[in-house]
Amino acid sequence: MEIRTLTPEDFDAMIELGEYAFQYRMSAEQEEKARKRFTPENTWGAFDEEGRLSAKLALLPVDIYVYGEKMPMAGIAGVATWPEYRRQGLVKQLLTHSLQVMNESGKLLSMLHPFSFPFYRKYGWEMFSEYKKYVIPTDKLPAKEETEGTVRRDIKDIAILNQIYEEYAKGYNGMMLRSEDRWKNSILDDEHTAVYYSPSGEPEGYLLYIAEKKELFVAEFVWLSEESRKALWTFLCNHDSMVTQTVLAQLPADDGLAYMLADPRVTQEIVPFGMARIVNAAGFIEAFPFQSSGQEQSWTVQISDPYAPWNEGGWQWKLSGDGKASAIPADPNEKTQLQCDIQTLTTMMLGYKRPTELWKMGRLTGEAEAVTRLEYAIPVGQTFLLDHF
């Protein structure tokens, strides 16, 4: 079995496998569009002895925000295997190989949307985000409020939308930076847009939504101020004569909407969404924006990561008074203060679970004093991911 990047000549075989595995069919127009956007250098395949594509996955290199800082990430997408080649370890080989590729290219994190959480946990990925979905009958929508500023419908200027999005994204761990190509080909489709402008003319919020079959479906609801949130809600509520319910497809888990509704007894669903894993633990720790304590401190941490052996073993984390960290291999004779696997380290550093919480669960083990110091060193943050890939 050979593992290599695809070539332009492999495009048709890749599409055929994707259509079979994910049970869809591309139109000629969609296929031509996909061919033009195809990046063979970011797509890896396993080929049998006769050169036939047996399994594949794609890497999506893009930065994400972690506590407001940009971190280099590679998303994993389009993982597929022909049924006659399944349960032969091909995806395991592709994932292991992709981790090596990501590490060598300087990626600190990887994310994916799993078909199975247990499957990807085996290879070091862990759940790191969830979102809330609401279904609100029209008679339970928030009250309309008078606001300053204006809401303009069907603004398709990507620069304006992205300006709002990036400011919003900085507030959540895991949000992807979006290129113009991503906006054009993956975000904006048939949805309407609505943009809120403050009295001074600054864009401070937007909606992506569809109104059809008596339902208002809101794909993205992004706001930067309370005034923009109220104005956009009032805009949605002005559809009350057209729809019987409003669906908010994806809001952060800490959105607090139910508290703000006059009658919070609406349908709410918490949906586990994304998985992440640290690719290079030392590089990630050194890039991480720890909280400043004003004094130096250190931890000796034992990490388990069999699929990325460069992370495996004992590490000495040293944190300066201004929050800058270094990570070097620990002296084998030095006592280990904390132990965890790469999954636990990922979910802890991204803020999905706190050190003390993980320690109580038994996922993070070691000295209570070291856990307490780490609790104060890691900022408090909320995870969220809007994009699917």
Percent of the chain exceeding pLDDT 70 equals: 100
Instruction: Enumerate domains of the chain plus CATH numbers.
Output: 2-107 (3.40.630.30), 132-272 (3.40.630.30), 281-377 (3.30.1050.10)
Looking at residue 9, its pLDDT comes to 95
First vs last C-alpha separation in the chain? 27
Looking at residue 63, its pLDDT comes to 97
Q: How confident is the model at residue 61 (pLDDT cuts 50, 70, 90)?
A: very high
Q: Is 328 exposed, middle or buried (0-12, 13-18, 19+ CB in 10 A)?
A: exposed
- Of 274, 341, 276, 272, whose CA–CA distance to 110 is shortest? 276
- Of 199, 211, 215, 93, whose CA–CA distance to 146 is shortest? 199
Over residues 199-211, the mean pLDDT reads: 97
Looking at residue 363, its pLDDT comes to 98
225-270 confidence digits (pLDDT tens)? 999 999 999 999 999 999 999 999 999 999 999 999 999 999 999 9
Looking at residue 123, its pLDDT comes to 97
Over residues 6-12, the mean pLDDT reads: 95
- 293: pLDDT strictly greater than 90: no
> Which of 144-148, 218-222, 318-322 has the highest average model confidence (pLDDT)?
218-222
Looking at residue 101, its pLDDT comes to 97
Q: How confident is the model at residue 1 (pLDDT cuts 50, 70, 90)?
A: confident
User: Residue 252 and residue 223: Cα distance in Å, rounded?
Assistant: 12
CA-based radius of gyration for the chain: 23
- 49: pLDDT strictly greater than 90: yes
Average pLDDT over the chain reads 96
240-251 confidence digits (pLDDT tens)? 999 999 999 999
pTM: 0.93
- 323: pLDDT strictly greater than 90: no
